[in-house]
Amino acid sequence: MPYKKKRIDRDQVMITSFDSLVEPESIARIIDFFVDHVDLMEMGFQRAEANAGGRGCYPPSNLMKLYLYGYRRGIRSSRKLEAACKTNLEVIWLMDGLQPDFRTISDFRKDNISCMKKVFKEFTKRISVDMDTGYVSIDGSKFKAWNSKDRNFTAMKLDDRIKWLEDHTEEYLRQIEIADANEEAEKGSLTRDELEKKLEEAQKRLDQYKFYRDLMIKHNLTQISLTDPDCRLMKNKNGMDTAYNVQTAVDTETHLMMDYQVTNRNTDHGLMASTMKEIKKDAGDEIIEALADKGYQQTEDMIECLEKGIIPNVILPDGQETYEMEIEYEEKGCDKSSKTAEEIKKCLHNGIVPDVYEEVIEKIEVVETKKKVVDEPAEMAEPYATEEEMKERAGEGFYVRDPEHEKVYCPGGAVLRHKSVKKNGDTRYANKTACRKCLYRNRCISGKGQWKEIDFNKDTLEKKAAWWNPEGPKGPGNEPKKGKKEKWHYEKKKVVRIKFRPDRKKMELRKCTSEHPFGTIKRAMGGSYFLLKGKRKVDGEFALFATGYNLSRAENMFRFEELMEKVGREAA
């Protein structure tokens, strides 16, 4: 089979326009037309208006086109974008032949990062203004932050490293003493100078870790990240990693991303109302239906949605057909036919079903119930004066809390650190690393747990370990310290109980709606991690991802001419 003949002669001189080198229906033309019809000055972009004096600067419109094209094609770093300005025909066409260096490109993104979400909003409005929309599917996904796990510390991780370094420091000191005593060093052993160098390095790292731990205690932090202070250690499919939890709101009819929210929360609990806030604001008095999975099963969040005119169709727990909610009763007049959030909230707190919720609220009633009223709050017993006293008390079979440094001493000699705060306000303490090595592990840990978790309220100083020396001495000295008890009484109070039934058929739409944008961004656009640091900048970077996804979706929904017409007009 013969080879195909060469189509061009590399030495041939050509007379052509640069525009003819770009495909007639190229994505670059859509981006170019859209940015040219956007008022960058109104959006707050720096240098959006040319200055007559001084050295010339690169037009922000060209740099905005560069970033939209780059994120759509998976070219994100400023150095790769700099190279594309010289080698990629579509980019050269978009940039009108301008070739900024990587610092100029990077500075543009840094200086205008807060404006990127406005660009996303404007593009989304223009392509969706005449379209029929469906429901809004909410979901979250973890995106890796620009912070390695080695640069992230929890209190337990710091405790473990500090102990390891303290042991090594003692060992180096011991070896230095031996080296001083023996004039001739043993074969293969380190010299005194080498030992002193290692000791200095260990002490430097030890001081650094102690500083981080003191900083966490001072500011009551559960973890600290050194490169990106806003990111958090989160669990994902590949284990644990430093990340951000990004919430997206995707329309079930058009599959366009309508809005998003960047958070550093480990779970999705309580994030539905905040993610839907801007969508509801744009919709006015229109009732919106949101779909979400079991990760959003938080009653307070769902109540907030109902009060704002959002129907939260959250997947029900197994064996349950409705959600039962309870809110305060407020006797105020309301208009049950109104669709405004203010009137809907009044009706719900009045025990009246608004007309817009007749199909979803199965039952609402005002009942009288007993509520606990605190007359005198509990007072904590006098804490132990020193760390030695706490450790000694823990050795008698108690979990002893240090309220000043937010930690607990356990009978096994380990320190349990602040892990989380429960709904009832209690603080949970744990130490996975210590439990793995503990001699009392089999006696202390019950059930299927792999480590000990213990809860303390703000007024409790110590708890007796039931498993510790059950035949030991009993008496006043072996009883937990107790402070002044809380004084309270019951009062009758009216509350509104709501039985809310989400639509199961609508919830099925979530499966084929929310996951697709995440897959496209992470796989097709190479956006599984962020390049920028800090929540504000990460929010702006995800706006570029979201705009790139909606651009990709719009390409599949409309003909080229139709899409050009949409992006070139002003949004309603």
Give the tens place of pLDDT for each residue, 188-240: 577 888 888 989 999 999 999 999 988 988 888 888 999 999 999 998 887 88
Domain that holds residue 173: 149-225
- 44 within some domain: yes
Tokens of 528: 């599984």
Question: Nearest-CA neighbor of 278 among 136, 85, 434?
Answer: 136
Interstrand relation of 288-292 and 310-314 (parallel, antiparallel or unpaired): parallel
Q: Are residues 161 and 100 in the same domain?
A: no
Total count of domains within the chain: 3
Q: What angle do CA 407, 411, 415 make, to 5 degrees?
A: 25
- 124 within some domain: no
Q: Which of 436, 468, 500 is the last residue of a domain?
A: 468
Provide the β-strand partners of residue 233.
242
Q: Which of 225, 258, 288 is the last residue of a domain?
A: 225
Residue 319 pLDDT > 70: yes
pLDDT in tens, 119-167: 999 999 999 988 888 999 999 999 999 999 999 998 888 888 998 999 9
- 120 within some domain: no
- 503 within some domain: no
**Quick one: pLDDT at residue 184?**
55
Name the helix (H) or strand (E) containing 199: helix 192-218
Q: Residue 404 and residue 192: Cα distance in Å, rounded?
A: 41
DSSP designation for 476? G
Q: Are residues 391 and 451 in the same domain?
A: yes
Residue 106 pLDDT > 90: yes
- 32 within some domain: yes
Question: Which residues, other chains included, contact 322 with Cβ-Cβ below 8 Å and sequence gap of 6+?
Answer: 316, 362, 499, 500, 501
CA 159 to chain CA centroid, nearest Å: 26
Q: Residue 253 and residue 225: Cα distance in Å, rounded?
A: 40
φ and ψ of 164, to 5 deg: -60, -45
**Quick one: pLDDT at residue 552?**
95
Q: Which of 48, 81, 111 is the last residue of a domain?
A: 111
Q: Residue 132 and residue 36: Cα distance in Å, rounded?
A: 27
Tokens of 288: 């919106």
Q: Residue 411 and residue 465: Cα distance in Å, rounded?
A: 8
Q: Are residues 91 and 162 in the same domain?
A: no
pLDDT in tens, 513-539: 988 999 999 999 999 999 999 999 999
- 273 within some domain: no
Q: Are residues 107 and 25 in the same domain?
A: yes
- 66 within some domain: yes
Query: Does residue 524 contact residue 75 with C-beta atoms inside 8 Å?
Result: no
User: Which amino acid, 271?
Assistant: L
pLDDT, the chain, mean:
89
Residue 175 pLDDT > 60: yes
- 408 within some domain: yes
Helices (H), 60-154: 60-73, 78-87, 89-94, 102-111, 116-128
Q: Are residues 85 and 35 in the same domain?
A: yes
Residue 505 pLDDT > 50: yes
Tokens of 279: 């969508």
Against a cut of 0.85, is the pTM above it?
yes
Q: Are residues 153 and 107 in the same domain?
A: no
**Quick one: pLDDT at residue 469?**
67
Out of 63-67, 201-205, 567-571, give the one with best mean pLDDT: 63-67
